[in-house]
Amino acid sequence: MIFASDNWAGVHPTIARRLSEESGGFAAAYGSSELDRKIEQQFNKLFEREVAVFFVATGTAANSLALAAVNRPGGVAFCHREAHMIEDECGAPEFFTHGARLAPVDGEYGKIDPEKLEAEIARFPPDFIHAGQPMAVSVTQATEIGTVYSLDEISEITSIAKSHGLPVHMDGARFANALVALDLTAAEMTWKAGVDIISFGATKNACWCAEAMVFTDPDMARDLPFIRKRAAQLFSKTRFIACQFDAYLQDYLWLDMARHANDMAKRLRNGLTASKHVRLGWETVTNEVFCILDKTVAENLKHHGAVFHEWNMPRSLQNQVLHNEILIRLVTNFATQSEHVDQFLDVLG
């Protein structure tokens, strides 16, 4: 009954096997092997155009270097107030951009409100040097709280960004979960909707370590080889990341795993909705579920072996909860079994 985070899970057997197979022989290092080339081709296919792909060690690296690639002096990037970049990366985006600022934008359900984005950008007039200058907009898809931007919502954000000349980054730590939730192709959810750079995460979805930066306009990535190397993010034996992606992208494994995770979350949601001991915090469609419950109920679940994290109660819910109630996050993944879910629901009652 582990619902703590998707990165508590291990590696899918197919990917583990692929890693083992790769262990022998010799291959050129630092991204120069044939396998590296092959994976780049796979990304081109996946995105239905020539893209530039760069492996990095962590999602934080992908997000930070994406901003670094488009940064300007006194730069300001706009993202949702609860974005991972702001909440959970210890200032890495600011560090890699030499002090750019992340301007938080509010919005319901973890999604940037377009009007508020406009208002926030307006606080930085192009020639007003005292405030700084806008340099990017970043959306998180799926969001940190289990929701997704619809295609229209993405387009609305990217239109605003473009009208101000700003590139758009998508933090796709849970890219696959969003894709299957919306039933879109990678191309549709990104560049066809105006997204320029994607943090393409696979680690949370059953790889042991596989994060890629995807630039849908390779020109934008011109300096990225140097940016990445200088950031100490160029693995020597890159083929061991490449082979994870090889297995990951083959035969729709990645989408199947994400679908499974989403399905497990749905099963969980359904059970939670039926229980009289909890209520959902809000509707989610990917592999995260948030629910409100009494502390003692949570304690009992833990006592029976359930593992999960308490979550900050959002302001909008603070008036709707009782004194003893808390918010918890439950995350599913490729390794979550329906038995885990059912056992959790049984204990809950």
- The answer to whether 95 contacts its own copies (rule: CB under 8 A) is yes
- The answer to whether 326 contacts its own copies (rule: CB under 8 A) is no
- The answer to whether 232 contacts its own copies (rule: CB under 8 A) is yes
Contact 88, 63 (CB under 8 A): no
Query: DSSP 3-state assignment of 289?
Result: strand
List the one residue from 82, 89, 171, 246 that touches its own copies (CB under 8 A). Answer: 89
Alpha-carbon gap, residue 114 to 99, rounded angstroms? 25
Instruction: Give the HSE-up count for residue 159: Cα atoms under 13 Å, Cβ half-sphere.
Output: 9
Alpha-carbon gap, residue 323 to 232, rounded angstroms? 47
Q: How many other CB atoms are there within 10 angstroms of residue 322's CB atom?
A: 7
> Quick one: 128 or 283, whose CB is closer to its own copies?
128
> Quick one: 156 or 171, whose CB is closer to its own copies?
171
Q: Which amino acid is at 2?
A: I
Q: What does the chain come to in residues?
A: 349
Q: Which amino acid is at 21?
A: E
Instruction: Tell me how far, at minimum, the Cβ of 134 lies from its own copies, in Å.
Output: 11
- Give the binding-site size for its own copies (rule: CB under 8 A): 79
Using CB under 8 A, which residues numbered 248 to 307 contact its own copies?
Answer: 307
- The answer to whether 318 contacts its own copies (rule: CB under 8 A) is no
List the one residue from 5, 42, 155, 300 that touches its own copies (CB under 8 A). Answer: 5
> Quick one: 95 or 109, whose CB is closer to its own copies?
95
List the one residue from 66, 67, 100, 301 that touches its own copies (CB under 8 A). Answer: 100
- The answer to whether 203 contacts its own copies (rule: CB under 8 A) is yes
- Binding part of the chain for its own copies, among 137-145, 200-208, 245-253, 275-283 by CB under 8 A, reads 200-208
List the one residue from 41, 45, 99, 280 that touches its own copies (CB under 8 A). Answer: 99
Is the peptide bond prior to 142 cis by the omega test (within 30 degrees of 0)? yes
Burial class (CB in 10 A: 0-12, 13-18, 19+), 145: buried
CB environment 58-73: b (16+ within 10 A), e (fewer): bbbbbbbbbbbbbbee
CA 332 to chain centre: 14
> Quick one: 27 or 187, whose CB is closer to its own copies?
27
- The answer to whether 317 contacts its own copies (rule: CB under 8 A) is no
- Binding part of the chain for its own copies, among 55-63, 149-157, 188-196, 269-277 by CB under 8 A, reads 55-63
List the one residue from 51, 53, 60, 247 that touches its own copies (CB under 8 A). Answer: 60
- The answer to whether 310 contacts its own copies (rule: CB under 8 A) is no
Alpha-carbon gap, residue 342 to 93, rounded angstroms? 40
List the one residue from 45, 50, 91, 250 that touches its own copies (CB under 8 A). Answer: 91
> Quick one: 29 or 187, whose CB is closer to its own copies?
29
- Strands 309-311, 325-331: pairing is antiparallel
Backbone angles phi, psi at 48, to 5 degrees: 60, 35
**What is the DSSP annotation of 202-221?**
-TTTT-SS-EEEEESSGGGG
- The answer to whether 119 contacts its own copies (rule: CB under 8 A) is no
Q: Hunting for tokens 């301007």 — which residue is that?
A: 103
- The answer to whether 314 contacts its own copies (rule: CB under 8 A) is no
Backbone angles phi, psi at 162, to 5 degrees: -60, -35
Residues in CB range of 274: below 8 A, 6 or more apart: none
Instruction: Tell me how far, at minimum, the Cβ of 200 lies from its own copies, in Å.
Output: 15
- The answer to whether 137 contacts its own copies (rule: CB under 8 A) is no
* Per-residue contact flags (x/-) with its own copies for residues 69 to 88, judged by CB under 8 A: ---xxxxx----------xx
List the one residue from 154, 160, 231, 327 that touches its own copies (CB under 8 A). Answer: 231
List the one residue from 49, 164, 217, 225 that touches its own copies (CB under 8 A). Answer: 225
Q: 102 - beta bridge partners?
A: 77
> Quick one: 276 or 315, whose CB is closer to its own copies?
315
